[in-house]
Amino acid sequence: MKTIIFDLDGTLLDSAPDIRATANTLLARRGRAPITLAQTRGFIGSGAGVFVARLAAAAGLDTDAAALARLEAEFVEIYEHAHALTRVYPGVEAALDRLAAAGWRMGLCTNKPIAPARAVLAHFRLSARFAAVVGGDSLAVRKPDPAPLHHVHAALGGGPAVYVGDSEVDAQTAAAAAIPFALFTEGYRRSAPEAIVHQARFADFAALPELAEALLAGAGAPRVPGP
């Protein structure tokens, strides 16, 4: 059996507008100016705790551990129900249909907290697509530690696998887990695609099923930046 595991924010979903709206709700409650969409994208990728720490630093809020813990809890509570501005990237659902028809087992490995992750999957009726889901708070560690990716891979039965993501964190995770990485270039990366270690890259989900098959066929190839 073949296994394909996805990141969520910036890979399957353009969720930055809802993340920004949630963050700006927190800031408005504290009398601070809103952040931009570009700032939001720059803060995403390493989990809710890192996001709110970056948000607090940018807004001049208290950054001691207790204050950040309260801010994170408030953020997650609001964000769990924030779906109105999020969109599934074009071509995702058709690509998932093709992968399922070709016998791929599918899982999800995200740094988004598990409750908002499951809520947004349910909102877009994507839950049944993924036989295993790990969030940023599911284990004691999160990406780029390889443990979450290994956990999903094992839950899906192991075997040949591909990881699909959009960021430097995803690339580092795949490298640490020794799983071939496909970079979606239209997400929230901070660097040029050429600067991110990947085995393949794509901008259109229509290309993913064939690309994933090719990655498994060349799974022993060295890891180098570039297409």
Asked if the structure places residue 222 within a domain, the reply is: no
Given 56, 79, 102, which residue is the final one in a domain?
Answer: 79
Asked if the structure places residue 225 within a domain, the reply is: no
Question: CA-CA distance, 45 to 169, in Å (whole number)?
Answer: 7
Asked if 58 and 125 sit in the same domain, the reply is no
Position 79 scores a pLDDT of: 85
- For position 109, which CATH number holds? 3.40.50.1000
Which residue of the set 7, 9, 14, 170 is catalytic?
A: 7
| Residue 97 is a catalytic residue | no
Position 120 scores a pLDDT of: 94
Asked if 49 and 59 sit in the same domain, the reply is yes
Segments forming the whole domain that contains residue 112: 2-14+87-217
Given 28, 48, 79, which residue is the final one in a domain?
Answer: 79
72, with CB counted inside 10 A (0-12, 13-18, 19+), is buried
- For position 20, which CATH number holds? 1.10.150
DSSP the chain: -EEEEE--BTTTEE-HHHHHHHHHHHHHHTT-PPPPHHHHHHH-SS-HHHHHHHHHHHHT---SHHHHHHHHHHHHHHHTT--TT-EEPTTHHHHHHHHHHTTEEEEEE-SS-HHHHHHHHHHTT-GGG-SEEE-TTTSSS-TTSSHHHHHHHHHTT-SSEEEEESSHHHHHHHHHHT--EEEETTSS-SS-GGGSB-SEEESSGGGHHHHHHHHHHTTTS---B--
Asked if 164 and 110 sit in the same domain, the reply is yes
Position 46 scores a pLDDT of: 78
What are the C-alpha distances in Å from 47 to residues 7, 124, 160, 216, 221?
12, 21, 27, 29, 30
Given 79, 98, 117, which residue is the final one in a domain?
Answer: 79
pLDDT tens series, the chain, 227 aa: 899 999 999 999 999 999 999 999 999 999 999 999 999 988 887 778 889 999 999 999 999 999 999 999 999 889 888 899 999 999 999 999 999 999 999 999 999 989 989 999 999 999 999 999 999 999 999 999 999 999 999 999 999 999 999 999 999 999 999 999 999 999 999 899 999 999 999 999 999 999 999 999 885 343 434 33
Asked if 143 and 165 sit in the same domain, the reply is yes
Structural domain total, the chain: 2
Question: CA-CA distance, 99 to 119, in Å (whole number)?
Answer: 23
